[in-house]
Amino acid sequence: MTSKSAIALQALPLVLLTCILPVVAHDHHNELSEEQANAPVDAILWIHIFLQASVWGVLFPVGMVLGLSRSKWHVPLQSAGFALTLGGYLLGHAHKGRSFLAGVHGIMANIMFIPILLQLTIGIYLKLHIHEKTIRPYFVPVHGIIGRAYPILGWVQMLFGAITFRGYCRGDNLGQCLAHYIMGSGFIAYGTIMAILLLAGDAWVRRNGRSPEWWDSWIITLWGIVNTFTEHRGTHWSVKDMQHTILGILWWTGGILGIFLSRNNQRTVVPAVIIILTGWAMSEHAQALMLSTKVHAVFGYTLMLAGVTRIVEVSFIAPKFTPESSTEDNNSEHTLADASSATGANAVKTFRHLPPFLLVASGLIFMSGTDEELNFVHNEGMDHVTYLLIMFSIAFIIYTLIVSLIHLYSHSGRNAATAPSDGAIELTTTPTAKWYARVPNGDLDTERHVIGEDDD
């Protein structure tokens, strides 16, 4: 794709955005009649839901990965995503039938145009290849940071959409919603990051000089400090207040130990032990409905199993991360290639999927365990087995997307030449190119090739 056509393609959504948004109007309701709240959902709204879920759940993450691998398909895919987002936004304001109370989903939809406009504007500026040695180096990392935030923004907005659609998380239910959705999303994010580190991040861990548990322990410590002082409100201490507060204390005390033990690139099982104890505590949570009690129990068991498999991974799969500078080659004692045979290497790769998948599954189950959701399931006559199997099915879909994106990164753009010949997900080498490199004097095509922008 030529530079001019790439700029034109990227500028088109920006032009449409500036022309259409000022005239878009939508009624937001502070009160709804029973007829409005229970009206059928029309086809336009269903199209809006599936279109935006596809764009923000699949298309933009794929575009982000192609940008990281410097693929030539990055710009066309992101430009198509911007155009479809605009179309979905208009559909969301044009539907008839069921009405919804004004809420955070509508507010967030408007806020999300800020990063969209920034990403478009900066992308067009970068394609112009001007101010190569002055201003441009500062905008390249900004462009990258905004792009990496897209999956998070999309996840949050999709959650807000589901909450708005069902009318959840209002009044006294807000606190429980926040606890379940934030913590559940945290476990899914934890599993995603773990999958990236275990499947494609060995070389990065070596260069960084910190074992994965060092990062885990810091996050657990900081999260525990927050939870210690935010889980209790008022003067009366309920059983749940006490349990959640002591879990916060457990996290920061265990996290401090994990930080100490994981220094000097040493691996430790402390974060896994904290996960197991958290899962055990959640499995013993007493609930008002038997259905809720069983769902929370399976959440706890799944989280405990994630911790157990992580202990196996830490103790037997990759017991130590040796810094890259201290090894003579890339096949140091901790890498996937160290297994004594091809069969052993494949077994290692296969096992490493268990901890992150179980974290994703446990996070999704916890998100699905609010009182409002389980009351709806109970009223529909569904048992806990059916409900949990649905959640595990969705977890399989989410984890498939995660590993597919990792696979795409290792087989596209600048990584295609060194992609594993057996079609495996893992990278055989990790690119060392930075976000920006100063370009030498020479013709423009050569300069673009040096910084990798001609592949966008």
Nearest to residue 268, comparing CAs of 320, 333, 194, 306?
Answer: 320
Same domain? 207 vs 120: no
401 and 341 in a single domain? The answer is yes
Q: Please tell me whether residues 117 and 187 are part of one structural domain.
A: no
- Total domains, the chain: 2
- pLDDT at residue 337 greater than cutoff 50: no
Confidence of residue 209 (pLDDT cuts 50, 70, 90): confident
**What is the band of 80 on the pLDDT scale with cuts at 50, 70, 90?**
very high
Are residue 318 and residue 356 in the same domain, yes or no?
Answer: yes
DSSP character string of 395-450: HHHHHHHHHHHHHHHHHSGGGGGGS-TT--SS-SS-----S--PPPSS-HHHHHHH
- 3-class secondary-structure state, position 288: coil
Check residue 317 and give its pLDDT.
77
Mean pLDDT of 290-301: 92
- Of residues 344 and 178, more confidently modeled: 178
Condensed to tens digits (0 to 9), the pLDDT of residues 137-159 reads 999 999 999 999 999 999 999 99
CA triple 382-388-391, angle to 5 deg:
115
170-188: per-residue pLDDT in tens?
Answer: 888 888 888 889 989 999 9
325, 398: one domain: yes
3 state SS of 266: strand
In percent, the amount of the chain with pLDDT more than 70 equals 76
327, 222: one domain: yes
Q: Is the pLDDT of residue 191 over 90?
A: yes
Residue 340 has pLDDT above 90, yes or no: no
Among the residue ranges 4-13, 335-344, 389-398, the one predicted with the least confidence is: 335-344
Indicate the pLDDT class of residue 339, thresholds 50, 70 and 90. very low
328 burial level (CB within 10 Å; 0-12, 13-18, 19+):
exposed
Q: Are residues 251 and 382 in the same domain?
A: yes
In this predicted structure, the answer to whether residue 454 has a pLDDT above a threshold of 50 is no
Give yes or no: residues 87 and 11 share one domain.
yes
pLDDT higher than threshold 50 for residue 62: yes
Residue 155 in 3-state DSSP? helix
pLDDT of residue 294: 92
Task: Reply yes or no on whether the pLDDT at 211 is more than 80.
Answer: yes
What is the model's pLDDT at position 334?
44
pLDDT at 335: 44
Highest mean predicted confidence (pLDDT) among 27-36, 91-100, 252-261, 321-330: 252-261
Judgement on whether residues 381 and 442 belong to the same structural domain of the protein: no
- Burial, 418: exposed, middle or buried (Cβ in 10 Å; 0-12, 13-18, 19+)? middle
The mean predicted confidence, pLDDT, of the chain is 81
Q: Which of 18-32, 101-115, 212-226, 396-410 has the lowest mean pLDDT?
A: 18-32
On whether both 94 and 18 belong to a single domain, the answer is yes
pTM: 0.82
Contact 400, 434 (CB under 8 A): no
Mean pLDDT, residues 17-24: 53
pLDDT at site 351 = 85
* pLDDT at 1 > cutoff 60: no
Measured from the Cβ of residue 424, the count of other Cβ atoms closer than 10 Å reads 17
Q: Residue 149 is part of which domain span?
A: 1-167+431-456
Tell me, yes or no, whether 245 and 366 share the same domain.
Answer: yes
Radius of gyration of the chain (CA): 24
Residues 230 and 317 in one domain: yes
Q: Is the model's pLDDT at 441 over the cut of 60? A: no
